[in-house]
Amino acid sequence: MSSLRNAVPKRPYKERSQPASRKKFGHLEKHKDYVVRANAFHKKEEILQKLKEKAANKNPDEFYFRMTRTKIVDGVHRPVSEANKYTPEELLLMKTQDIGYVLQKIQSEKKKVEKLRAVLHSLDNQPSKKHIYFAEDSEEADEIQSRVSKNNELPISGFLPPSIKRKMESSYRELEARMKRVEDLERVYAEMAMQKELQKKGKKRKLREEEIVNPTSKPVFKWKAERKR
């Protein structure tokens, strides 16, 4: 009987809405709203209870590895600064690896640009097709010659299907984007190369504007000549 009782659809329970005269007091909380609020409250209560138990049962003499990377400042544990974590030689090595990756990307993009240029150049400069026409008399020959001469006046790209034209336009946009990417990568490579040189040993100074022979927008440095032993 219970299965039959559950098979009969029941009318959903509806709570009364907020009376118009009490709209000024805000939203009238329904039972489903109370359930969500109660569950959230009890969940936070359980988390606080677990944290209290963990703090009460903690061993003050327990060792953990973060102790070696912290120091006490005014009774508070502070993490040790990792600003000088790497030596100058290690920083220079990482900078060299980054420059190598950027140079590899520049070479890869240049190869793709050259490949796209070759494909588009072959499409733009494709040779005209030659056909042999046979005529029975001179009148038909003159008619064929006039028709062929009119067709030859049209550009070759006019005979391309719309799908090929769309692909060519997409290829030109891709070529422009890749050329822009090569310029950006070359600018990044030049900046990284400059930073790498500045990290090397030796006395250097930044030249003033009046000392620069060929003025540029980028800073120019000069290293002091040292005698090689």
Q: If 0-12 CB within 10 Å is exposed, 13-18 middle and 19+ buried, where does residue 61 land?
A: exposed
Instruction: Give the pLDDT confidence score for residue 52 in this predicted structure.
Output: 94
- At 37 the pLDDT is 95
What's the CA gap between 6 and 60, in Å, rounded?
58
| pLDDT at residue 226, as a whole number | 73
Cα distance between residue 189 and residue 195, in whole Å: 10
3-class SS letters over the chain: CHHHHHHCCCCCCCCCCCCHHHHHHCCCCCHHHHHHHHHHHHHHHHHHHHHHHHHHCCCCCCCCHHHHHEEEECCEEEECCCCCCCCHHHHHHHHHHHHHHHHHHHHHHHHHHHHHHHHHHHHHCCCCCCCCCCCCCHHHHHHHHHHHHHHHHCCHHHHCCHHHHHHHHHHHHHHHHHHHHHHHHHHHHHHHHHHHHHHCCCCEEECCHHHCCCCCCCCCEEECCCCCC
Tell me, what's the pLDDT at 46? 97
Q: In sequence order, what are the residues at sequence separation of 6 or more whose Cβ sits closer than 8 angstroms to the Cβ of residue 23?
A: none
- Residue 43: the pLDDT is 97
The pLDDT value given to residue 93: 67
pLDDT for the residue numbered 155: 46
| Averaged pLDDT, groups of 10, the chain, 229 residues long | 74 80 85 93 96 88 76 78 66 74 88 86 61 68 72 51 79 88 85 77 75 71 73
pTM value > 0.75: no
Residue 156 backbone phi and psi in degrees, to 5: -65, -35
Evaluate whether 188 touches 98 at the Cβ level (below 8 Å).
no
**AA identity, residue 149:** S
